[in-house]
Structure 1
Amino acid sequence: MASLSLYAPLEGWACSLDEVPDAVFAERMLGDGVAIDPTGDTLIAPCDARIVTVQPTGHAITLRTAEGAELLIHIGLDTVALKGEGFETLVVAGDTVTRGQPLIRFDLDRIVREARAAVTPIVVTNGDRFTIAHRATGAIVASGDPVMTLTAREAHAQPVAGGCPAATRTIVVPLPHGIHARPAARIAEVARGFDAVVTLAKDGAPVAATSPVGLLSLIVAHNDRVTIAATGAQAEAAVEAVAELILHGIKEDAAPTPPRPTPPAPRDVPAGAIAGVTAAPGLAIGTVARWDVHDLDVPPEGCGIAAEEAAFTQACAALSAELTGKAAAASGPMRAILDAHAAMLSDDALLNTARAAIADGHSAAYAWRAAIRPQADALRAGGDPRLAERADDMRDLERQLIARLMGIEDAGLTLPEGAILLAEDLLPSQFMALDLDRLAGLAIMRGGPTSHVSILAAARGVPTLVALGDALRAVAIGSRVILDAGAGWLHPVPSPETLADAEARVSAAATRRAEAFARAGEECRTADGARIELFANCGSAADADYAVRNGAEGCGLLRTELLFLDRDTAPDVAEQTADYQAVVDALDGRPLIIRLLDIGGDKPAPYLPIEGEENPALGLRGVRVVLAHPHILEDQLKAILAVRPLGRCRIMVPMIAGVDELLKVRAVLDRLTGGARDVELGVMVETPAAAIGADLLAAEADFLSIGTNDLTQYTLAMDRGNAAVAGALDGLHPAVLRLIGETVRGGALRHRWTGVCGSLASDPLAVPILLGLGVTELSVAPAAVPEIKALVRDLDLSAARDHARAALACPDAAAVRRLAREFAR
């Protein structure tokens, strides 16, 4: 295998596993990979593969490629506690899937509200066999964009434990959520520590305890019995260690199932509106068109067995070729659906049933309906909503082949401009035939939110409601209606006031988006003229290019650790210089702040001897690492000083706790420059010590930049990698805000500016408070630049100061957020 390309299974912000607030993933306990903070609600296959497991709760799935790569995709963090609520699985174990095929649909809003985080790791669990040669991080990715490239490692012979001591033990699993990703990682880690081959079994063949994917494939639930077995010199010790870990060593709260979101109460639906189920959110106003689809009439009797058999064979071949051709030209959900239809058309059981009916004297069209319709009806009657929605695919295939056999062109529908299309039901092929440029929205009497039409509509951004019921029949063709798919209703006869309100909302949203992008290139100033520098956080030249196109005025944080990780040796001066120069060139004259290497803790590098630590967050990380390895610091400073033009670069030191650390870095820099101060040297304020001592640091630093993620962690004494407490972390906690204010005050005493490069800078609720506290530079996610610039543009600084003072007086983060929402109105 030369290489294996993996494609983004979700749209969203791609980041390193280092940024996942869960030690299991950040410390690569399950393997290496990338993570995506999603903006969509459908997980698709990252490559052609076979489904190994789909967790019963729907929150995680494992796949195995033909090359042998094993992939785990875990939607959100601690989502196992949702117990399947908000997840709709579209595949089952054993299915063969193609790249881009939908695998799981999920309620993103619910995950954001009720889970610890929505960020979704994509992990290669058998990293002993594959190396990640390339990964896309620090950028927005669309579903299907390249995200990882794997190359095979050389195979190594595995030890054979035959003829060695053996041991077994059967236990009842007490874990509230069974063996999911986190316990699997812990079990595998323990099993690897013994000179023994360890397996687990549940009602069947055993799997290797060192394989997280294998452990997940067992689908072990609370109170299930499993048998632990081992052979080898330490077999007995290995079995006891794994058993004790499962029985007593993995602490998980048996959290109650989060309450199911209740449907909107009648008062939430405007009087006269029809309530439905959201399939694809959005607000649209348009003219009603209707598409009533009826069964095609077919003759029961054929024109002779030989003729009907020939017609059937020819029609199947022609339709198969058409579906295959369309699939090759399509992408995403549309390609997956076309591939699924082509696969069904080659199903021997269906084809043989139809041919048997033809042999009994029936027409080919009648025989095909007689073969496929009972299968679709059985799916609908089975009580499983997901399978009932898959029946639509069978009906669609039935209609397409019958139309071909009958010589009927199943023509599409001519839509008026801005149409709201009403239908009792709609088949995927009919949706694909619509002129989407003229379609404003869909309203369907039947169906569900996971039907293929719903998936297609969501992929194309068409606001869609389903399950509206028979009331939809009374809506007049040609009438002007409001479809609020996000709120879950269609108003067939809106009052002038309701219509005017909807028109204003549609117009305002469109205007906001257009204005934000149109003015993104303008200098960032508040409404009363205060200058605020609006920069972007980047990890590569590609990030910088994207940020500039979005209006960023520079790069406020270049994450240089991305160049140092996932390799056996540190990059030399030439490689680093080339990397930094590419970012400078992409910024086209705009400022660049380069953060010195920030590894250690949750971001280890194999070539730096950092011993395991009981609490890595408080150990050797940040500036402490480069001071402990001065050749790394010196090489990086040499590389930065080689970039041209030199004046575009500033240097920022991470994880500073005291002035002595900054002075040590300053001494190396002065030695390399002969004492010339051509390059600004600043510090990241990530510890309470740095915030409280900001005035002391500012006497030696040229600027201060606050990393709110770590500052929040250290201020609240909550490890963001600890599932038990990380959910309570909130940078808008008054204690954190007070430290930000103290940092600004300390910097101002020395006439130094203070910026924020942590996640609070991208939070629209936090920005007015930050500026009110005196922050004058924000470095945000590249995609957020236009929105944050627009927010700053409308902000009065004096009002922001009053707002910040009120926030500092709040008792907790929740109160601050309530206050911030009121201020934003």
Structure 2
Amino acid sequence: MPNNNKELILSAPLSGPVLTLANVPDAVFASGAMGDGIAIDPLNDTLYAPCDAEVIHVARTGHAVTLRADNGAELLLHLGLDTVELQGDGFSMLVKEGARVSHGQPLLRYDVDKVALRCKSLVSLLVITNGERFQARPITLEGVKVGEPLLHILAKAGGQAEHHEQDGGIEVFGQVRIAHRGGLHARPAALVRQTAQGFKSRSQLHFDGKSASCDSVMGMMGLAITEQAQVHVSCRGSDAEAALQALLATLSTALVEEAHASAPPPEPPRANAEAGVLHGVCAAPGLVTGPLVRLSGIQLPEDIGGHAIEEQRQHLNEALAQVRSEIHLTLEHARARQHRDEEAIFSAHLALLEDPLLLDAADLFIEQGSAAPHAWSRSIDAQCQVLQQLGSTLLAERANDLRDLRQRVLRVLLGEAWQFDVAAGAIVAAQELTPSDLLQLSAQGVAGVCMVEGGATSHVAILARGKGLPCLVALGEALLAQAPGQSVVLDADGGRLELTPTAERLAQVRQAQTRRTALRAQQQTLAHTPARTVDGVEVEVAANVASSAEAGASFANGADGVGLLRTEFLFVDRHTAPDEEEQRQAYQAVLDAMGNRPVIIRTIDVGGDKQLDYLPLPSEANPVLGLRGIRLAQVRPDLLDQQLRALLQTRPLDRCRILLPMVTEVDELMHIRQRLDALGTELGLSERPQLGVMIEVPAAALLAEQLAEHADFLSIGTNDLSQYTLAMDRDHAGLAARVDALHPALLRLIAQTCAGAARHGRWVGVCGALASDPLATPVLIGLGVRELSVSPPQIGEIKDRVRHLDAAQCARLSSELLNLGSALAVRRACHRHWPLG
């Protein structure tokens, strides 16, 4: 019945399972072109009026009728898809145009068998055709019987759309072949959503007779779009053309699962021909032994009902906010450690956590009386079922990302501890682990993981490979029948879990583990000695750090110095800037932690993606190309002067080296050198610290010779240099894997930087992620780099790598790499010339 606010509850006109329009196998209806609404896959043979209304149109072929409800909503009831082609055969219309009908009155009957055999689908629609005035909210997404509440109709305030602009403006169309490996799964779908949300226009994907809004990751994943499939894109609005081109580019740009190494090829599970052995698929290589420990998922208590709806909504919203915060923290850590795969995975999780299909379904279940944990769990289960029924192994694996979100949110809602009680060295067995589980277990030092389900392309597999954690998947239900505590052998390379290994076999595996441990220990023992190539070229291996504690750990690991101290750690997560004395103490603590070794301290590098609450910068269309790094001196010279004064008061000053970020021209360097001199004079100092320039934009690399004339050293930041050279945002989840600093264009800039510095007798270091890549070590040495600043745990490994190289050979072969055509070609050549392991 309508009320004074023009609200209306529509009842089910048919009996059967309920579908959202996005899951209707018809591009026109699913795209929302006809309006908002809902669908039913009918089990009965009669269509009934969902409310009191007037019949304003009857289809000539008898398959559809349009009603005008008393509140003005115009409702199209359309039985089946493509049924117009039946020309009325099998349909009996029971009402006429202009007639007044009552709620529950029969409108048309049809011959179920005749129509079902001849039409595309019996899925039937209830659509609001004047959607500019009304919006529809489903009351249920489960099966209904005729007459049960189905849809809540609300008048729009001012008749305006809520998210994108009104469906005015031009509409444009395009088509593209999907380049993403494995099709449009979670991460590429998250990228499409991210792209679409940058425009005012409404955007839709159309594939195989179905459509989905680009605002919904779940809706797009539900289309089951496969790799190399041809899809259509439509955009309507004032910026439709720009939106279309951006979406076509996103869809046609492959998201590389792993930039630096291909996943081990999955092998089909073999039959259990051997007693005491379970066979599975290798997701991450390795050979380990340890006690088997089983993990179980969260079991929800019985839902006793009687909940206050608003209270349950608040519980869920608070839990979602906490998990979002946790994921943001995970993303920050991944970015800081340059773990691009991890970053991409949890960026997709963040998008899923904000997906309207999930949130609306959970809210609906709460409205129907479910407690928040049960509503969230039911919402996730429903979407997992959709993905698993699409016939795609890859999409079925992506349902694991949803289970991860279910588990994380439930832990918050139920107050359960996040940490697993698993001892280091254990081999974990589970039905299926989630990405968050994997990160926790890796941090606790487990030896390996194995799962009943899962796949070699899953996010868990990607993370396990990145962590060097042996992982076996698809072992089958027999895995969970094994007694916990027994010693097993996980031979991931061979796809085997050996349940009853002999003493001899256990000894053999332990010996292999011991050899690997010994190699790492040997590298660590030699980490405190200089790294010289076989032909006598010494290369300093320093550490990238962000605190005095990290500097101390790096010193213990054998670092030859600090190649990059990121001073942002002093400025973030606070409401006011640190004063001069606080800064001086922090910088002095790092110098003290490094003994007699040099420390390169980068001046504050904020702006772009690093904003400070107490340092409001002008709003910029593209902050990454705006006021960041040394350009901050343009708007806050006092902040930089304060930092320079603090640095000038450290002792001994000859071990303090200052590095300037985002320099693009010589005048910027000269200005800071003049300020340094003036401040030093004010402080009565007779000496000055070395002043270096960070080479992280192409302009600086191209002007390296001119900069080297006035700088004491150059340090290449390959992370930013890569994104600025390749015109790819390194924080863009879909492109980050392609931002590869071994691209020949980058290598040419590095070579030019080294050649320019050499003309003035200056040394060149690399402090970006490329320095930590052992595959790149010979290339950098060959191009003339003489200092590598790496992540602290890799100091011993990189030094060991240097000691096995011939610098003259590196120079000869590296010059040839500059003529190759891609980063992939360079990496292949590096594997051929300087194999790892």
TM-score, length basis structure 2: 0.49
Which one has the largest radius of gyration?
2
